[in-house]
Amino acid sequence: MGKYFLRRSIQLVVVAFIISILAFLLVHLLPGDPSVTILGPNDTAQNRAILLKQLGLNKPLWQQYTTWLTAVFHGNLGQSYLNHESVVHILATGFPIDLELIVISQIIAFAVAIPLALFTSRRPNRPVDNVATTGTFGLLALPPFVIAPILVAVFAVGLNWFPATGFVPLTQDPWANLQHMILPSVAITFGSIAVYYRLLRSDLISTLQQDFITMARSKGLSNRRIMWRHAFRPSTFSLLAAAGVNIGGLIAGTFIVEYLFALSGIGFSLVQAVNQRDYLVVQGISLVVALAYVILQFIVDFLFTVVDPRVSRG
């Protein structure tokens, strides 16, 4: 186990190092003078001086990299040359929104998908299973930009249960925060529900045909105990892998929902920065998002060992 984590940790550091180089080179792969490209119409003497100082563009490339990396380690990821907002501030304000969207949407997704899969896997091809399977097909076909306006029309404008747009920080008003985050979270959760349900159902059906399940049944264990204690855990491998990829994709990947619900999350900021050629913001956010993704996969790898200790033995 120890060796496994040591090996994975070393891999994590190597990947992080490669990511940092790629993120650094992002600016330098731009055609022409990076300072001209970065600043664009904002190429004022003031901005140019700040940029040169920050990036050390007159130094050799490796020195620029070390300068940049040192700044990153000191929490300086640069600033927007459109509104001078620091990238760290953009991340600090945007990350809680993304985090909440991910957490709430995944809680909903697991809360719906797992019990449904446990139920239908015991009775495959029955009416409930057929409805659930067909329904999840439908959910997969409904992108968030279709679901979101429907949710707003019904639950915000029609029933007035939730606000249509906006964000209230959790620290400011937890209840208002939850009210604001429900609809956007629900809008992105449908796809997750469909994927999680289908994967878990399929794996559970397979697991339920294993000999150890037959043995458990022959011992007279209750269905509930069989499902939760014996069938569920070995069936979560695909679910875990899919959740890792899915949650990773949601980090800065919820742009559409953030746009529709006027949430200034990381995804919205990143797409805006790309649209406006705000390269240092793109660079900073890309670095952090990539690192977050890698760390998330590291955590998923750890969870694999919990589900199945044989993983750590190679």
Partner 1 sequence: MTRANEITRRTFLSRGAVAGGAVVLGGAAGGLLTGCSSSTSTTSTTSSGGKPGVGSGPPVRGGTLTVGTIAEIDGFYPPNNHWDTNGFLYANAIYDPLMAIAADGTIVPYLAQSMTPNSTYDAWTLTLRPNVKFNDGSALTSAVVKANFDALKSSLLAGPALAQITGVTVPDGMTIVYQLEAPNPYFPAGLTTQVGYVVGEAMIKQVQSGTANATPVGTGPFVYSSWQPNDHFTATRNPNYWRSGLPYLDQITFKPIPDTTQREATLRTGGVDMIISSDANTIVNFQGQSGYQLVDSRTGVLGEPTVACLMLNMVTPPTNDLTIRQALAKSLNVTVLQKLFGAGFAKPLDGIFLPGSPYYGNTGYPGYDPSAARQLVAAYKAKHGTPSLELLTVTDPYLAKVVQVVQQMWNQVGFNVSVNEIQQANLITDFVTGEFQAATLAQFGAINPDLNYVWWSTTTISPIGSIGLNFTRMDDPVIEQAMLTGRHTTDQATRVKAYQTVNDQLAQQLPYLWLNQYLFSEVAQDRVQNFDNATLPSGKPQYSFQEGIFWPAQIWLAG
User: Which residues here bind partner 1, judged by CB under 8 A?
Assistant: 40-44, 46, 49-50, 79, 82-86, 90, 93, 149, 152-153, 156-157, 160, 163-167, 259-262, 264, 268-269, 272, 274-277
Q: How far apart are CA 186 and CA 69, in angstroms?
A: 38
By beta-carbon proximity to partner 1, the closer residue of 54 and 238 is 54
Provide the minimum distance between the beta carbon of 208 and partner 1 in the complex, in angstroms, as a whole number: 45
Sign for the pseudo-dihedral over CA of 261, 262, 268, 272: positive
By beta-carbon proximity to partner 1, the closer residue of 99 and 307 is 99
Phi, psi at residue 188, to the nearest 5°? -100, -5
Q: How far apart are CA 119 and CA 217, in angstroms?
A: 17
Residue type, 16: A
Provide the minimum distance between the beta carbon of 79 and partner 1 in the complex, in angstroms, as a whole number: 6
Sign for the pseudo-dihedral over CA of 178, 181, 182, 183: positive
By beta-carbon proximity to partner 1, the closer residue of 39 and 290 is 39
Q: How far apart are CA 295 and CA 13, in angstroms?
A: 10
Reference 283, options 95, 74, 92, 91; nearest CA is: 91
By beta-carbon proximity to partner 1, the closer residue of 83 and 130 is 83
Provide the minimum distance between the beta carbon of 40 and partner 1 in the complex, in angstroms, as a whole number: 6
Reference 232, options 122, 107, 104, 102; nearest CA is: 122
Provide the minimum distance between the beta carbon of 279 and partner 1 in the complex, in angstroms, as a whole number: 10
By beta-carbon proximity to partner 1, the closer residue of 75 and 166 is 166
Provide the minimum distance between the beta carbon of 167 and partner 1 in the complex, in angstroms, as a whole number: 7
